[in-house]
């Protein structure tokens, strides 16, 4: 599997659009890997995790090929992770194609309720003719295309999920936007073989942030995955969903996290699983 990080920022992105904190001002000045769109990943060009307010700019910047995209997974209903109105751009007349690809969308109950409300109130009910809508439930594995996906409970908001994704024997854990995982999630992961992991690290220095992981949480999560036999010491561990509240640019954060064997993802980073 090839993982493309389309966005690696938290809800406000970096720089925050009207924020004048030192980090946001530095990001405007220096650009590059300091610029973070809202968090999303694309797997093999086919499987999109979260449909953010930045999807247009992500797709243009990183050459997303619309004909390849088949499936969208939604972690939870927060606006920086799921903007249902963006789905109109996948279908006619916003998308003109001789053979438009039918998309399959998988999400929890609360996200699907948000989608249904958008379609009903904005006159977008025709979307149902182009997009298959499927409800995800924790621990219930689904198969879509070449992928086997198991949603697991996150520690974030009600109904939020992380995803264990498998293709041809390779396994990726998308653990973005969750605090330290709930114990039932840990119970499920025990003994599973995982080759690559993406974790949220919204504010690395936070000491009390139960719904997001800090630097300490990431290190503890990595250690527990190793102790449970899920990963080897050489497994690829990435952090994403990074906020300006942490006060560190990409280089400083990378230097800090690399001592733990953790890589700081940036917009446009690709990784082979």
Q: Where are the domains of the chain?
A: 2-272
CB contact set of 93 (below 8 Å; sequence gap of 6+): none
- Establish whether the linkage from the previous residue to 169 is cis, with ω within 30° of 0: no
Which whole number is the average pLDDT over 32-47? 98
Buried b (16+ CB within 10 A) or exposed e, 206-238: beeeeebbbbebbbebbebbeeeebbeeebbbb
Cβ neighbourhood burial of 242 (10 Å; 0-12, 13-18, 19+): buried
Give the pLDDT mean for 163-172.
98
Give how far Cα 35 sits from Cα of 99, 111, 174, Å.
35, 28, 21
Residue length, the chain? 273
| Distance of alpha carbon 175 from alpha carbon 97, whole angstroms | 35
Between 71-85, 97-111, 257-271, the lowest mean confidence (pLDDT) is in 97-111
Instruction: Please give the structure tokens belonging to residue 250.
Output: 């990409």
Q: What is the pLDDT of residue 119?
A: 92
Cβ neighbourhood burial of 98 (10 Å; 0-12, 13-18, 19+) = exposed
Q: Is the pLDDT of residue 98 over 80?
A: no
pTM for the model stands at 0.96
Instruction: Give the chain's radius of gyration (CA, Å).
Output: 18
Asked if pLDDT for residue 101 goes beyond 80, the answer is: no
CA separation for the pair 148, 231 (Å, rounded): 19
User: Residue 210 pLDDT more than 90?
Assistant: no
d(CA 252, CA 264): 10
Specify the CATH architecture of the domain 2-272. 4-Layer Sandwich (3.60)
| Tokens 């999560």 belong to residue | 221
């Amino acid at each position: 599997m090839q993982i493309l990080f389309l966005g690696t920022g938290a809800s406000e992105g970096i720089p925050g659009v009207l924020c004048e904190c030192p980090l946001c001002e530095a990001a405007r000045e220096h650009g590059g890997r300091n610029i973070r769109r809202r968090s999303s990943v694309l797997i093999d060009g086919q499987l999109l995790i979260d449909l953010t307010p930045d999807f247009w700019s992500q797709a243009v910047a990183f050459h997303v090929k619309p004909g390849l995209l088949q499936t969208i997974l939604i972690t939870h209903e927060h606006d920086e992770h799921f903007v249902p109105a963006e789905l109109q751009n996948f279908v006619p007349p916003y998308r003109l194609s001789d053979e438009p690809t039918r998309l399959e969308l998988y999400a929890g109950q609360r996200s699907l309720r948000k989608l249904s409300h958008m379609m009903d109130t904005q006159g977008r009910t025709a979307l149902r003719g182009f997009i298959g809508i499927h409800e995800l439930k924790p621990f219930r594995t689904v198969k879509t295309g070449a992928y086997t996906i198991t949603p697991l409970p996150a520690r974030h908001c009600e109904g939020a999920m992380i995803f264990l994704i498998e293709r041809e024997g390779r396994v990726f854990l998308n653990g973005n936007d969750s605090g330290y995982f709930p114990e039932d999630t840990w119970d499920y992961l025990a003994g599973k073989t995982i080759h690559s992991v993406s974790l949220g690290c919204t504010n690395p220095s936070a000491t009390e942030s139960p719904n997001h992981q800090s630097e300490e949480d990431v290190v503890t999560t990595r250690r527990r995955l190793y102790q449970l036999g899920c990963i080897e010491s050489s497994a690829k561990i990435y952090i994403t969903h990074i906020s300006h509240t942490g006060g560190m640019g990409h280089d400083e954060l990378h230097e800090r996290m690399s001592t733990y064997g953790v890589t700081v993802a940036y917009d446009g980073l690709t990784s082979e699983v």
